[in-house]
């Protein structure tokens, strides 16, 4: 074994360099993480690392809270097929049509509600992209503002409950899912407000970027009131999922089951429930979860091997021994997360760094609930960050490469990334934005 020949600093460099090389070569992320962990485990730890790897994979499979993940994913796909996003967009547009940039603001609000129903970033981008982008372009909206609002609104799915990222974070930090969900609610609404404020002010100063709907095309009050019926199902579903969990009637997994059943009922009410819909939602859920769980397993193994080699103690000592204020260490962690967010998805980052950074934060007296909210805020920045932000490529999939170059998609998210950074700074400066609601409800 080489463990006696090199220090943990060298092992750290070699481990992450090897993983990055495999990623650049185009191997699936799960293989990059898992394969690197297995090889380095045998080289620097010995054959006993195989037992640790199997034990960690088995323990991950026994995390009952992860059962909620496929249920929420299924709920998102079913709502997509049920046409809930169409109804939401139409109803909100009816009320906001007279304000500058109304369609873009409607998109943000629609994505916010979709986020509260599905907890998945890409769901909001797909739903609202297919519906809202053609509507905005046909009304003469600036293409960059239209695309940026869709991608930024979709990113809210990672923060507004129910959030898949929060569910996984709870397995690492031992913070209850209910507290995490409530912790993400106000920061999510804060970001949504910042986005809408930016859109409104921009379109007031430059009306050509997002013209209001002409007065003659605005619906009368009677039609506005009738449109409220389209909000009933989403509101009932959100209250059923989150309310049942927060009042203690259901566990997170049971609440997810309520959401999945509610989505089926929504599709039934919309007369879109058939074998084709069930097949589509089930197969897509299976594909999404297979990818997510392989990443979770592999990242868990990677983190376990890395910690077993002594890295956790090394990094914790390195950070806690600094003669600086704890907030400097927390800021450094945020910077690392933002940089990684431009290269890989949030769950992979969480599974790799969470077991190391969470104990560091706790040792510095930092609230792990607040750290979880900050992580999701930074992961939202990653969703939009070039070159590999997930939402950028979802937008690419629903736009024509001949009409919309990738450089335009990259440019469209820059103002929203700045707004996300402002939101991150506000939450770091005023932690009560994240902690007040959980403390109020759970004490």
**Span 346-372, pLDDT tens digits:** 777 887 788 778 888 887 888 999 999
What mean pLDDT is predicted for residues 51-74?
71
Predicted local confidence at residue 14, as pLDDT: 79
Polymer length of the chain:
443
d(C-alpha 160, C-alpha 167), whole Å: 12
Give the pair of three-digit tokens for residue 259: 């959401």
Report the distance separating Cα 432 and Cα 437, nearest Å. 8
Q: What is the pLDDT of residue 217?
A: 67
Give 397: exposed, middle or buried? Use CB within 10 Å, 0-12, 13-18, 19+. Answer: exposed
Q: Which of 280, 83, 256, 298 is nearest to 164 (CA)?
A: 256
DSSP string over 358-398: HHHHHHTT--HHHHHHHHHHHHHHHHH-TTT-HHHHHHHHT
Q: What is the mean pLDDT of residues 313-334?
A: 73
- Provide the angle, in degrees to the nearest 10, between the axes of the packed helices 311-320 and 346-363: 60
In this prediction, residues 95-99 reach a mean pLDDT of 70
Is pLDDT above 60 for 4? no
**Residue 83 predicted with pLDDT over 60:** yes
Question: Dihedral sign, CA of 43, 49, 54, 58?
Answer: negative
pLDDT at 59 over 70: no
Ranges 68-77, 122-131, 379-388: which has the least confidence = 122-131
**In this model, does residue 27 exceed pLDDT 80?**
no
- DSSP of 237-248: HHIIIIIHHHTT
Token pair belonging to 139: 């009304």
Q: Angle between the 326-341 and 311-320 helix axes, to the nearest 10 degrees?
A: 130
Q: Is the dihedral of CA 213, 214, 217, 219 positive or negative?
A: positive
pLDDT grade for 427, boundaries at 50, 70 and 90 = very high
pLDDT of residue 395: 79
CA distance 33 to 31: 5
Which region among 203-217, 293-307, 377-391 has the lowest average model confidence (pLDDT)? 293-307
State the DSSP string of 24-45. HTT--HHHHHHHHHHHHHHHHT
Please write the tens of the pLDDT for every residue from 341-352. 776 677 778 877
Decide: 183 and 437 in contact? Cβ < 8 Å.
yes
Give 124's contacts (C-beta < 8 A, 6+ positions apart): 110, 111, 114, 115, 118, 150, 153, 154, 155, 156, 157
Question: Is residue 185 classed exposed, middle or buried when 0-12, 13-18 and 19+ CB atoms within 10 A define those classes?
Answer: buried
Rounded-to-integer distance, Cα 428 and Cα 420, Å? 12
Coil vs helix vs strand at 97: coil
Give pLDDT, residue 190. 93
Mean of the pLDDT values across residues 182-186? 90
| pTM value surpassing 0.85 | no
Q: What is the pLDDT of residue 310?
A: 65
**What's the CA angle centered on 175, arms 349 and 443, to 5 degrees?**
145
The predicted structure's pLDDT at residue 3: 46
Residue 343 vs residues 21, 389, 417: alpha-carbon distances, Å? 12, 7, 16
Q: Report whether pLDDT(2) > 60.
A: no
Q: Chain centroid to CA 424: how far? A: 14
Residue 284 exposed, middle or buried by CB count within 10 Å (0-12, 13-18, 19+): middle
At residue 117, does pLDDT exceed 80?
Answer: no
Residues in contact with 278: Cβ distance below 8 Å, sequence separation at least 6, in sequence order: none
Confidence of residue 34 (pLDDT cuts 50, 70, 90): confident
Q: Which of 80, 68, 147, 82 is nearest to 114 (CA)?
A: 80
Calpha distance 13→415 (Å, rounded): 35
Q: What confidence tier does 61 reach under pLDDT thresholds 50, 70, 90? A: low
């Amino acid at each position: 074994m080489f463990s006696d020949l090199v220090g943990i600093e060298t092992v750290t460099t070699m481990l992450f360099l090897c993983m990055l090389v495999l990623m650049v070569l185009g191997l699936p992320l799960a293989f990059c993480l898992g394969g690197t962990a297995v090889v380095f485990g045998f080289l620097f730890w010995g054959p006993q690392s195989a037992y640790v790897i199997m034990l960690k994979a088995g323990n991950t499979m026994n995390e009952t809270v992860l059962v909620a993940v496929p249920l929420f994913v299924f709920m998102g796909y079913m709502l997509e097929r049920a046409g809930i996003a169409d109804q939401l967009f139409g109803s909100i547009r009816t009320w906001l049509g007279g304000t500058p940039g109304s369609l873009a603001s409607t998109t943000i609000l629609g994505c916010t509600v979709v986020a509260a129903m599905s907890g998945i970033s890409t769901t909001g981008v797909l739903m609202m992209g297919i519906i809202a982008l053609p509507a905005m372009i046909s009304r003469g909206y600036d293409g960059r503002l239209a695309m940026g609002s869709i991608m930024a609104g979709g990113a809210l799915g990672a923060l507004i409950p129910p959030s898949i990222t929060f569910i996984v974070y709870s397995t690492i930090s031992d913070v209850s899912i209910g507290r995490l969900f409530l912790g993400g609610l106000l920061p999510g609404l804060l970001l949504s407000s910042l986005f809408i404020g930016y859109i409104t002010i921009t379109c007031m100063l430059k009306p050509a970027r997002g013209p209001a709907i002409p007065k003659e095309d605005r619906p009368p009050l009677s039609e506005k009131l009738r449109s409220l019926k389209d909000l009933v199902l989403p509101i009932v579903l959100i209250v059923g999922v989150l309310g049942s969990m927060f009042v203690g009637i259901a566990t997170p997994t049971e609440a997810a089951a309520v959401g999945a059943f509610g989505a089926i009922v929504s599709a039934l009410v919309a007369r879109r429930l058939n074998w084709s819909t069930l097949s589509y939602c089930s197969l897509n859920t299976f594909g999404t979860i297979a990818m997510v769980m392989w990443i979770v397993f592999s990242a868990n193994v990677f983190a376990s091997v890395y910690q077993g080699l002594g890295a956790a103690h090394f990094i914790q000592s390195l950070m806690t021994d600094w003669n600086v204020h704890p907030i400097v260490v927390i800021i450094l962690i945020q910077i690392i997360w933002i940089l990684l967010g431009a290269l890989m998805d949030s769950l992979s980052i969480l599974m790799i760094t969470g077991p190391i950074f969470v104990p560091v934060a706790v040792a510095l007296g930092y609230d792990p609930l607040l750290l979880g909210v900050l992580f999701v805020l930074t992961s939202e920045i990653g969703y939009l960050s070039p070159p590999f932000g997930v939402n950028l490529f979802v937008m690419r999939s629903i736009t024509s490469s001949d009409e919309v170059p990738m450089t335009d998609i990259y440019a469209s998210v820059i103002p929203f990334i700045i707004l996300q950074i402002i939101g991150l700074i506000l939450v770091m400066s005023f932690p009560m934005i994240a902690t007040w609601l959980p403390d109020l409800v759970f004490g």
